[in-house]
């Protein structure tokens, strides 16, 4: 019996042993688990230790934002420090409409601060379509700081600025303007964009997904913005206003399309006034409308042009170009003021028939009378003595055909006939201003040369640079070079003075001052065709005063006047008004003579 029990117990014990396959599986699972743990520990070590900097940077990048800080745009001033353009610091309020859950509540709370009606603000905050909505781009800084401190979800407040022009539209055609991004888009604002704009900075901030600054986080200036450098112009704001107003009234009175007027300091070349206007009430015709800024200057329908026409628009100047012919003839010694020229009514030259504006029989005129009466045929006969090469050389010598050192945006050099494209008819057309097309500033430069003793002085518009600390760095003096001898120059002054005293320019007479100048009335070519626009003329007067000791020079151009077409009756009155003001404004001594035209003055016309 005992043997049986022992055997049974042994059998039972044997059946409880684990099979070898089970043990292997357990060990395998334990090994895999250990390997997985070790791999996970390795990854954790790599992430937390080896790659800590990389992942930390990614984490910070989710809430860190580097913002561009725009520098404050520098101002533009006239020669006496009057502000012409200035940027005012403001706050830019932007809404991320995708992040705004309660637009009505936020709008009601924000409206009094951002100065936007509640209904309009609700609409702005409820768009849910682009994530970037400008709520106010010119909020004052105090309100901007208040709004920022209230931490509205989805609302971001940034530093910004708004460009303002305290004198309204005065000189806008010259100064230009800025676009929505605050960059210069036209005129001097465009030409000196990099100078005025300065350099942007970078500010680092930590913000949530809704655009709100994280608590206890501070903004850091990575790179400070560098303010721009301002411009001190040669302009005189008072004279600019008077020039624009006189020109605008004459545009309205004559129904002219555009008007240009520039006043220059004879000795320095500094431009004291530069007006460029368009009469939007006049019919533009086939030449098309003239782009304007859309703001009246105070005379109904008259606005500032976007392009500054005295520099950017070339035109056939007509009789004012006769200064080339007469100065060349005097310089070559082929005529004197008293040389008598036998002048028929017309002449056939190179297959074209040229004639004087008014029919007349055979006349015997002195050179002085030819210019005073603006005889086309007399001028052609004088030019024939100079010859083709002499005329072409004098055109270049007087500065025509070259862009000025001002290098104004869009400035044209003009279109000149050359020896390579010379036609036989140009022997008559060039001396009377019918073939070369030049901008008004070049015509003024030529007459200013005569006013300046025969010495050309380059025009100038920027007088100095104004830095953020208030210091001023003056620009270099204008370049000069001799064009005419003293003898020839004095003779030309005398001839031009007779134009005003006895010829076509009597409307430019200023009591108490001697005035020298020239009128011009030129036909306008039909665009793209070999013919002229019917009844369309450019009327010009250009001159300087006082004639015996010139201080100021000026040009006035009216495009397509209707009530009167002549330079002597359309443009000379503007010259007279503005120059009279300027002479008194700058305390230029009068010679005390009350000048009146001689009997029979203002004979002839200057139509070419």
Same domain membership, residue 273 and residue 187? no
In a domain, 398, yes or no: yes
- What pLDDT, on the 0 to 100 scale, is given for residue 35? 74
Q: What is the mean pLDDT of residues 18-35?
A: 75
Give residue 5's pLDDT: 46
Give the 3-state secondary structure of residue 199: strand
Q: What's the domain range around 177? A: 66-233
pLDDT the model gives residue 57: 64
Statement to judge: residues 342 and 271 lie in one domain = yes
Residue 300, CB half-sphere, CA atoms under 13 Å: how many?
4
Q: Are residues 102 and 130 in the same domain?
A: yes
**Are residues 342 and 393 both part of a single domain?**
yes
**Beta-carbon contacts of residue 490 (< 8 Å; ≥ 6 apart):** none
**3-class secondary structure for 212-251?**
CECCCCCCEEEECCECCCEEEECCCHHHHHHHHHHHHHHH
Say what the pLDDT of residue 124 is: 84
- Last residue in a domain, options 192, 207, 233: 233
**Phi/psi of residue 385, nearest 5 degrees:** -70, -30
> Does residue 364 belong to any structural domain of this protein?
yes
Q: Strands across the sheet with 220-223, in order?
A: 64-69, 201-206, 220-223
Residue 83 sits at φ, ψ, to 5 deg, of -75, 125
pLDDT digits (tens, 9 = 90+) for 515-531: 999 999 999 998 888 88
pLDDT in tens, 551-577: 999 999 999 999 999 999 999 999 999
Q: pLDDT (tens digit, 9 = 90+) per residue, 55-97?
A: 566 555 555 666 667 788 999 999 999 999 999 888 888 887 6
Residue 82 in domain: yes
Q: How far lies 49's CA from each of 52, 56, 76, 113, in Å?
A: 5, 11, 57, 49
Residue 42 counted as domain residue? no
Domain of 94: which CATH number?
A: 3.90.1310.10
Q: What is the pLDDT of residue 306?
A: 97
User: Residue 105 has what pLDDT?
Assistant: 87
Q: Are residues 303 and 337 in the same domain?
A: yes
**Highest mean pLDDT: which of 36-45, 447-456, 585-594?**
447-456
What percentage of the chain reaches a pLDDT higher than 70?
87
Coil, helix or strand at residue 260: strand
Both 157 and 249 in one domain: the answer is: no
Please give the pLDDT value at position 405: 96
- Is 51 part of any domain? no
Q: Are 313 and 287 found together in one domain?
A: yes
Q: What is the pLDDT of residue 13?
A: 47
User: Does residue 419 surpass a pLDDT of 70?
Assistant: yes
Task: Answer with the one of 216, 233, 250 that is the final residue of a domain.
Answer: 233
What CATH number corresponds to the domain at position 280? 3.40.710.10
Mean pLDDT of the chain: 88
Residue 193 pLDDT > 80: yes
pLDDT at residue number 133: 83
* pLDDT tens-digit map of 265-320: 999 999 999 999 999 999 999 999 999 999 999 999 999 999 999 999 999 999 99
Q: What is the pLDDT of residue 6?
A: 47
Q: Kindly state whether residue 18 falls inside one of the protein's structural domains.
A: no
The confidence score (pLDDT) of residue 447 equals 98
Reported as a pLDDT band with limits 50, 70 and 90, residue 2 is very low
Mean pLDDT of the 19-39 span: 75
Q: Are both 284 and 225 inside the same structural domain?
A: no
343-352 confidence digits (pLDDT tens): 999 999 999 9
Maximum average pLDDT range among 93-102, 108-117, 174-183, 546-555:
546-555
Residues 191 and 272 in one domain: no
pLDDT (tens digit per residue) in 42-57 = 667 765 666 666 656 6
What does the pLDDT read at residue 33?
A: 77
Q: Encode pLDDT of 430-443 as tens digits.
A: 999 999 999 999 99
Query: What gap in Å lies between CA 44 and CA 258, rounded to an integer?
Result: 78
Whether 420 and 271 map to the same domain: the answer is yes
* Number of structural domains in the chain: 2
Q: Is the pTM of this model over 0.75?
A: yes
Buried b (16+ CB within 10 A) or exposed e, 61-74: eeeeeebebbbbbb
Model confidence pLDDT, tens digit, residues 106-116: 888 888 998 99
- Same domain assignment for residues 227 and 248: no
Judged against a pLDDT cut of 80, whether residue 130 lies above it is answered with no
Residue 278 sits in the same domain as residue 187: no
The reply to whether 534 falls in a domain is no
- Domain end, chosen from 218, 233, 248, is at 233
Q: What pLDDT is recorded for position 10? A: 46
Concatenating the DSSP letter of every residue in 349-374 gives ETTEEEE-SS----EEEEHHHHHHHT
Half-sphere exposure (Cβ direction) of 232: Cα atoms closer than 13 Å: 16
Helix, strand, coil in percent for the chain, rounding step 5: 35, 25, 35
- Token pair for 60: 């910070």
Ranges of H-type helices in 366-509: 367-373, 376-386, 388-397, 426-429, 440-451, 486-502
Q: Is residue 41 part of a domain?
A: no
């Amino acid at each position: 019996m005992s043997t049986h029990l022992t055997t049974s117990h042994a059998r039972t014990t044997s059946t409880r042993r684990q099979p070898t396959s089970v043990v292997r599986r357990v060990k395998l699972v334990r090994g895999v688990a250990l390997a997985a743990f070790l791999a996970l520990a390795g990854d954790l070590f790599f992430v937390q230790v080896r790659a800590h900097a990389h992942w930390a940077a990614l984490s910070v990048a989710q809430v860190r934002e580097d913002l561009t800080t725009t520098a404050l745009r520098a101002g533009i001033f006239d020669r006496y420090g009057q502000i012409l353009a200035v940027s005012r610091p403001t706050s830019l309020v932007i809404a991320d409409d995708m992040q705004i859950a309660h637009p009505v509540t936020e709008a009601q709370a924000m409206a009094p601060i951002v100065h936007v009606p509640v209904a309009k603000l609700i609409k702005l905050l409820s768009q849910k379509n682009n994530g970037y909505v400008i709520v106010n781009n010119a909020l004052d800084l105090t309100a901007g700081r208040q709004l920022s401190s209230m931490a509205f979800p989805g609302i971001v407040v940034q530093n910004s600025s708004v460009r303002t022009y305290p004198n309204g539209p005065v000189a806008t055609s010259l100064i230009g303007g800025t676009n929505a991004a605050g960059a210069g888009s036209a005129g001097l604002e465009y030409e000196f964009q990099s100078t005025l704009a300065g350099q942007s900075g970078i500010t680092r901030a930590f913000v949530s997904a809704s655009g709100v600054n994280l608590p206890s986080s501070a903004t850091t200036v990575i790179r400070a913005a560098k303010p721009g450098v301002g411009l001190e112009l040669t302009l005189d704001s008072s004279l600019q206003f008077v020039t624009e107003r006189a020109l605008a009234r004459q545009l309205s009175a004559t129904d002219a399309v555009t008007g240009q007027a520039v006043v220059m300091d004879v000795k320095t070349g500094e431009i004291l006034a530069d007006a460029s206007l368009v009469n939007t009430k006049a019919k533009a015709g086939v030449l098309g409308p003239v782009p304007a800024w859309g703001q009246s200057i105070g005379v109904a329908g008259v606005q500032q042009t976007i392009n500054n026409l005295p520099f950017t628009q070339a035109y056939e100047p007509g009789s004012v170009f006769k200064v080339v012919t007469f100065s060349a003839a005097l310089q070559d010694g082929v005529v004197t003021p008293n040389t008598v020229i036998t002048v028929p009514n017309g002449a056939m030259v190179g297959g074209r028939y040229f004639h004087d504006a008014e029919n007349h029989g055979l006349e015997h005129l002195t050179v002085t009378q030819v210019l005073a009466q603006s005889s086309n045929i007399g001028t052609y006969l004088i030019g024939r003595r100079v010859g083709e090469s002499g005329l072409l050389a004098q055109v270049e010598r007087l500065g025509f055909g070259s862009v000025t050192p001002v290098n104004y945006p869009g400035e044209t050099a003009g279109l000149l006939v050359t020896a390579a494209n010379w036609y036989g008819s140009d022997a008559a057309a060039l001396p009377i201003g019918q073939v070369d097309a030049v901008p008004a500033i070049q015509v003024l430069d030529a007459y200013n040369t005569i006013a300046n003793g025969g010495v050309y002085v380059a025009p100038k518009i920027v007088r100095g640079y104004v830095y953020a600390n208030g210091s001023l760095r003056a620009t270099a003096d204008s370049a000069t070079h001799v064009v005419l001898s003293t003898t020839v120059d004095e003779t030309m002054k005398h001839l031009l003075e007779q134009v005003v005293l006895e010829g076509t320019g009597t409307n430019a007479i200023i009591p108490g001052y001697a005035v020298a100048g020239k009128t011009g009335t030129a036909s306008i070519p039909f665009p793209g065709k070999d013919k002229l626009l019917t009844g369309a003329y450019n009327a010009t007067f250009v001159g300087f005063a006082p004639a015996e000791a010139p201080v100021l020079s000026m040009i006035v151009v009216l495009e397509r006047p209707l009530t009167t077409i002549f330079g002597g009756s359309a443009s000379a009155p503007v010259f007279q008004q503005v120059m009279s003001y300027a002479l008194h404004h700058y305390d230029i001594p009068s010679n005390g003579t009350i000048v009146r035209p001689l009997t029979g003055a203002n004979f002839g016309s200057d139509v070419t």
